[in-house]
Structure 1
């Protein structure tokens, strides 16, 4: 027979464990799905060329070491976490993501992926969006073993979710090579309608898996990144065809988010107008303290937009005055400007509401 003293000790221990693994009232999990703009290092654990695990990536990260983020320092999910007063979510493939750290959330993003499964095939081994959603299901099973199914559902339902997809379906699929398979199959307007219909299925599946606050970024001005300037621009003007792709894609994406919200009877999906967020400093870099929005800090060739950023590349001494870190990705400082619009932007940037409004509104309904 267990003595009263031992029973009391076991009761205290069990209560301490349940407290340890219960999300606090103040905490809010954060989940990230998407491509290299939001990948925190999942591709480090994969045999793929789509990696950012070598210097000078991470030169301005707190550790000054590459982390797998396609940035000189922090990326958009890191800065959102910072604004939430939370630690950054770990890559889902990281062995450190276990126990209590699971309750912070997880980053499922993988550089190179798109809405379509054939996007990024040249990178071979990447976590396609269907697999990211499977990992999200697996994540919930893991958390359920810690805090039980009811608390897990509450954690997921109350979480913030960020989804960034679409850019690679153009630059790493439709326009990857002249006369690509997809460009022979579809005219650009038909291709956009096709990927939008596929995207709607992905977002509906996220809702089925419990996501209730989902920020979805529109694609940025793809024709204005240094890689596309190097490839397609003779005078430094943004590549018109890729701007046309964004002009077709973004309004249709916003429309399906409205449609989904109407079907659900709630503002589940929030449209983040990344095109406008980027174009603010692309079209007027000096107004934001940048010396250039055309030349990447790290790279080679015209606009430093050719090939990968490596130790052999040109490297600017001051990353804060460059809008682009490498051929495709914003610098940390540019990411901070973008996230500021996530937090406080008007409905021209965040529709139907910004993140500060979401946080305040959800706090009142707890």
Structure 2
């Protein structure tokens, strides 16, 4: 019995040796944000913002729901694939122990925003402040495994993705007519306030050791099936939500440029999700989609009302639809987005794309 324990320990330490920082192993990956990048944390919470029932996951390798708001893989999965790593586990997953910690962790939680009052209708979700606390907790857990110095090195060399902002409009400012925030702020002033709060979040990430951070702006908020169903008369994108995205995203890029200048290094990289998604929204056929207006799964106009459930309309071929449900892209659309993250010009990735980041970081290690 004692011999088998020793053998298991030797196997485990050998496994650690192959993936500790400084080797050629895939870099760690950390994910923060909302439902666009949640890998299943909300499965462990008492909340209505969850995707743990069919037909979610219908095209996932297991063909079962995982908590991802997708028919299959989501953006973090596909980025993990691109950097040669396995998908990160949700931070709340009981499986995230031992050497699995070395892969990184996904802290994202559907429904959250930049502001703490965003998504309050979902009750129990992991707000961004708590996600950052969990990141600190993660580092303490990893330190007991590989030591403080190696932990700091792993975090510094890791890739980080943060996706926030959409819910601050959809599930806050525009959630109901005359919402508390819309009475408090005009739209331009609200955007300035959001950007100022986001700035604090990014500096906090930097303070916690993040050195390569992809920061996703909002998508074309007025063009998702949910907003078409509620606000569109003939299928055109909802003007006011498009205006919100048009105000927010340029200011986000400007803020990122300012932070990088202040720090003296290109720590933060802006992911222009509006431009990426408008390509297939404006010309779905060019990308192999039959529609960018109707969701694959849902009900009501454009399949944009309510949740995607077993009672919903469900398209037989998800690859023909740009949107999986009322808000979230299909796996195929996510693949198009990640291709731009990897190789896109400065129109999509500013100041550089992920392939360039990987090349620079690989060179700097040699």
Aligned-partner Cα distance in 1 for 2:41–2:309: 19
User: TM-score, normalization: structure 2?
Assistant: 0.96
How many pairs were matched up?
A: 357
Pick from 16, 20, 23: which aligns with 1:22?
20
- The residue aligned with 1:3 is none
- Runs of 4 or more off by more than 3 Å in structure 1? 11-18
- The residue aligned with 2:316 is 317
Aligned-partner Cα distance in 1 for 2:132–2:12: 33
TM-aligned CA distance change 1:203 to 1:25, over 3 Å: same
Q: Which runs of 5+ in 2 are unaligned?
A: 1-6
TM-aligned CA distance change 1:159 to 1:336, over 3 Å: same
Aligned-partner Cα distance in 2 for 1:225–1:160: 28
1:20, distance to aligned residue in structure 2 (A): 5.7
Q: CA RMSD in A?
A: 1.4
Aligned-partner Cα distance in 1 for 2:337–2:221: 16
Aligned-partner Cα distance in 2 for 1:300–1:13: 52
Matched, 1:210 2:209: yes
TM-aligned CA distance change 1:230 to 1:19, over 3 Å: same
Q: Is the 8 A contact 1:306 1:327 kept in 2?
A: yes
- Structure with larger Rg: 1
1:238, distance to aligned residue in structure 2 (A): 0.1
Matched, 1:150 2:164: no
Can you list the C-alpha shifts for 1:218-242, whole angstroms capped at 9, x where unaligned? 1100000000000000010000000
Q: Is the 8 A contact 1:222 1:242 kept in 2?
A: yes
- The residue aligned with 1:342 is 341
1:224-303 aligned at under 5 Å gives the runs 224-303=223-302
Aligned-partner Cα distance in 1 for 2:220–2:15: 49
- The residue aligned with 2:4 is none
Aligned-partner Cα distance in 2 for 1:91–1:272: 23
Q: Which runs of 5+ in 1 are unaligned?
A: 1-8
Aligned-partner Cα distance in 2 for 1:276–1:50: 27
- The residue aligned with 1:5 is none
Q: Is the 8 A contact 2:19 2:25 kept in 1?
A: no
Q: Is the 8 A contact 2:346 2:353 kept in 1?
A: yes
Q: Is the 8 A contact 2:39 2:108 kept in 1?
A: yes
1:129-208 aligned at under 5 Å gives the runs 129-208=128-207
TM-aligned CA distance change 1:320 to 1:149, over 3 Å: same
TM-aligned CA distance change 1:273 to 1:18, over 3 Å: closer
Q: Is the 8 A contact 2:15 2:99 kept in 1?
A: no
Q: Is the 8 A contact 1:21 1:146 kept in 2?
A: no
Q: Is the 8 A contact 2:165 2:218 kept in 1?
A: yes
